[in-house]
Amino acid sequence: MQIITDVSVCPWPEQRSVITIGAYDGVHLGHRCVIGEVQRRAQLASARSTVVTFDRHPASVVRPESAPRLLTDAAQRLELLEATGVDATVVLAFDDSRRLEDPADFVRRVLVEGLRASAVVVGEDFHFGVSRSGNVGMLRELGVTLDFEVLPVPLLDRSDGIGEPVSSTAIRRALAGGEVEQAAAMLGRPFQARGPVTQGDQRGRLLGFPTANVAVPAQICLPADGVYAGVYERPDGSRHACAINLGRRPTFYDHATTSLLEAHLLDFDGDLYGELARVEFVAFLRSERKFDGIDALKAQLKLDCEHARAVAGL
């Protein structure tokens, strides 16, 4: 996949492109449905299939006080877009000038002059530009004069009968309730958190259940506090079933204010410090709670590991 950050000069002056635009946080099944239509149309027209996205979520600039936490960091989002087989992804800086940009100017400068769009494929509820004033109707009007087709795609309904479309917002809501299996059904894969393994208080090792403390960036969305079955992927690609504790460790701390992600790798003995961990949440096992003592906690941890082994799928 070609990654482009500058469209002041068209990267393919002899070829046109079929484009979709969006934040693409999560690259979920709804996103992939739109991208699939982009690829189909591009193949028919011998054009470049292209995703136009941004270096940060637009909401972090437009309304930073209420911007959502992200389902994917920048690197994971590009990995997932590349996995779709799309020809190119354009990553544009989103700043105050972009926030205030007239949507018609954006279309002319980026889509038409910069990328030679022959078609623009978007979800039927698509909005863009200053105050979200751009929409499918505006795109169609511009397409008539600027020579590109506009192809709105119906939103993809969830498969669990909830009666709402697949969306990043719906996935965040599922994670907030600890419903990682619902989130996975909309993502098309288990939700994954990433971060470096950092030194902890060593208590897990003393308990006989050593954990990798994963420092997930603050802007990343995490599931509700609790214990989960999961899979830990190392940088070498090896995958290990794990029991995940996400929470404030109330047995040891009365007033912890932030959640910590700890993964106990089953049947593993080795040094993980400093490596970039990828932790997949497969299933919710139980809520986090305070235990009466160390022996009660250790007995529960043993049960958690047995349960995680049974459901992690490795």
* Residues labelled catalytic: 262
Q: What sign results for the dihedral spanned by CA atoms 119, 123, 129, 135?
A: positive
Instruction: Give the three-state DSSP class for 162.
Output: coil
- Burial (0-12, 13-18, 19+ Cβ within 10 Å), 59: middle
Select from 107, 151, 152, 155 the least CA-distant residue to 129: 107
DSSP category for residue 165:
B
Number of neighbouring beta carbons within 10 Å of residue 159:
11
**Pairing of the two strands 239-247 and 260-265:** antiparallel
Query: What is the Cα–Cα distance from 25 to 69, expressed in whole angstroms?
Result: 10
